[in-house]
Amino acid sequence: MTLRCVQASASIAFRKECTMRKVVAAKLHGIHVTEVNLNYHGSITLDPDHGEEAGIIPLEFVEIWNKNSGARISTYVILGERGSRCCILNGAAARTCQPGDQVIICSSMYIPEEDITEMTPRILTFNRENNVIERLSYQVHVGTEGYEFSILDEAGVRQPIPLFTGVG
């Protein structure tokens, strides 16, 4: 991906070409909080195995969405012990979660809109013990009717996309 915005211009075409969109880069979906540490100075501690597999790096800012409480926060990643399957909220973030809460950790990046079809964010889903149970990816294509979105499993097979169910 290259950044095409290299100089200022008043032209509408140039502004459209330079439109940057914030998109999902990686996601740990349904990982469980293993510990909270109010007295540590901020961040979320993750098992390096989980971060590396999804594409989340140390010191990267991430959004954290608590599925139990609805709380949403932003903090940065530090690495815990490899193989520990840890997910520890530190500092002020510790006030938003309890051990056992299920959270979604999402990293993002800014890209030129036309590069969206080059993205393949990795999504890991977890069981109660924070073992990875699914390895998914998102893909966007441009079809005859506009954007087409797909969720693929690790074999490249399209997965169903949640639709309106009429429940709740």
Q: Average pLDDT over the chain, rounded to whole?
A: 90
Domain 21-159 has CATH 2.40.40.20: yes
pTM: 0.86
- Reply yes or no on whether 43 is catalytic: yes
pLDDT in tens, 106-131: 999 999 999 999 999 999 999 999 99
Where are the domains positioned within the chain?
Answer: 21-159
Catalytic-labelled residue, pool 9, 74, 76, 147 = 76
pLDDT at 17: 61
Contact call for residues 103 and 33 (beta carbons, < 8 A): yes
pLDDT at 16: 55
pLDDT in tens, 52-111: 999 999 999 999 999 999 999 999 999 999 999 999 999 999 999 999 999 999 999 999
- Reply yes or no on whether 137 is catalytic: no
